[in-house]
Amino acid sequence: MIHSKSKSVGIVTTARVTHATPGAAYAKIPHREWETDADMVAPWYGRGGRNCDSSLKDIARQLVEDNHRIHVVMGGGRRCFLNNKTMDPVHNLPGKRADGRNLIKTWEARQEAKGARYQYVWNREQLQEVDDNVEYLLGLFDYSHMAFDADRYERGKWSQPSLSDMTEKAIRILRKNEKGYFLFVEGAAIDLAHHQNLAHKSLLEGIAMDRAVKTATDLTSEVDTLTMVTADHSHVFNIAGYPVRGHSILGKMDNSNEDYWYMPTDGKMFTTIHYANGPGPNRSLDLADIDTRKLNRGKHIWDTPRDGLPMTTVVYGNGPGPGRELDLTTVDTTALDFQFPAAVPIAYETHGGEDVSIYAQGPMSHLVSGNWEQHFIAHLMAYAACVGPDKSHCTEDGRESSDFCNGAIQGARAGKRELGFALMVVIAFVRYLL
């Protein structure tokens, strides 16, 4: 819909650009794991295809062959574009593709055939040198997902761009189009750190996302740019206990609290923050003969408790229920790679079930209020950007019926831009920073 109105499009993520969330912006696929053709043959934990028709395109092929009009694509995932005979320039690992294709070269050939100004980059230094007047930019900055923000500094230099770096370059390229643009920015590493119970790194990723939002707002105007910040889920990540003022959020609780009912009954320290499940240190508890009314026996390897025991869907972070055997007395819980405790031992921490927030500023931001089902947000964005089936409010007659729209449109015209078409979505997978 955005392309049909001659607007520019950009996708920025710290995950692989073929991963589920960025991939949903451009690909149609039976399963999210089909990022390369190699993922589409033989069952993969029961999730892959079995001898898929060769005419079916994996997500990476759909990006390069069917969506080469996307002006800016930046993130990780070089392995999805390189064949298994081609080595990655940084990690010296072969690509994943089994079809012999080098989709980076295919993307370059498509742009060359159009006579477009284009550039492919794979590190921070190259990105900094990209001319803002380039029309098409492909940046693949890691073999798989990009490094955590805390780990980007390698061998005396910043080897990968930050989320802010990518956001700034994307906006500077896209905003040349007076018809407007749509930019999708995903702080994916917040989610990836949570899945490993790496709370410290996840919090730092939240700060990195906050910087990216500031970069975006500094480079745009509320007069003609609708900026939305939201999430698609929470995590089973919580604060537990009553830490004293000045206590580190990454620190430990002990028996120093004067109120005895807040003291651990086993006398052991516990962290203020923790997870309901995940790979972090955890408990030993057999629920096999307990009627919990809801036992979760995961279908997939990362959903199944490592100890083979059933788990409840609802878990408390602390309290009089069956607990853990863990002594944190001599453990540095503030370390970047400390895995915070998890009540249920599974290989990959799961998402939570709470509502998540959505915030907006700019034209049509008044529509973002109250509680909505998640699928409604896409319709809201289309309405605000005057694309899709319902755009009568964007006509001359429609504008006259709304003082708000009329004022916003006049302001946008003064800046030589169409209302609501400079649309940016910044997504972060976490509830506590939103």
> If pLDDT is split at 50, 70 and 90, which confidence band does 156 have?
low
Same domain, 259 and 328: yes
Domain finish residue from 286, 310, 339? 339
Any domain includes 74: yes
Q: What is the average pLDDT value for the chain, to the nearest integer?
A: 80
For the entire predicted model, the pTM comes to 0.84
Q: Higher model confidence: residue 1 or residue 231?
A: 231
Same domain, 79 and 202: yes
DSSP state of 140: E
DSSP state of 146: P
Number of Cβ within 10 Å of residue 128's Cβ equals 12
Same domain, 89 and 218: yes
Percent of the chain with pLDDT over 70: 73
Any domain includes 347: no
Domain count, the chain: 2
Question: Mind listing the pLDDT tens digit for each residue in 367-422?
Answer: 998 888 988 998 998 888 888 888 788 864 434 334 444 444 444 444 444 433 34
Domain finish residue from 307, 339, 371? 339
| Residue 197's CATH number | 3.40.720.10
Which amino acids are annotated as binding site for Zn(2+), given as ranges?
Answer: 191, 195, 232-233, 351
Tell me, letter by letter, the H, E, C secondary structure of 408-428.
HHHHHHHCCCCCCCEEEEEEE
- The pLDDT of residue 385 is 85
Domain finish residue from 287, 307, 339? 339
Same domain, 82 and 219: yes
Q: What is the mean pLDDT of residues 169-197?
A: 94
Same domain, 64 and 152: yes
Any domain includes 32: yes
Which amino acids are annotated as binding site for Mg(2+), given as ranges?
Answer: 19, 21, 186
Same domain, 78 and 207: yes
The Cα 40–Cα 49 span in angstroms is 5
Domain limits for position 326: 239-339
Same domain, 130 and 218: yes
Which amino acids are annotated as binding site, given as ranges?
Answer: 19, 21, 186, 191, 195, 232-233, 351
381-401: buried (b, 16+ CB within 10 Å) or exposed (e) per residue?
A: bbbbbbbeeebebbeeeebee
Any domain includes 141: yes
Same domain, 263 and 386: no
Pick from 271, 239, 265, 238: nearest CA to 252: 271
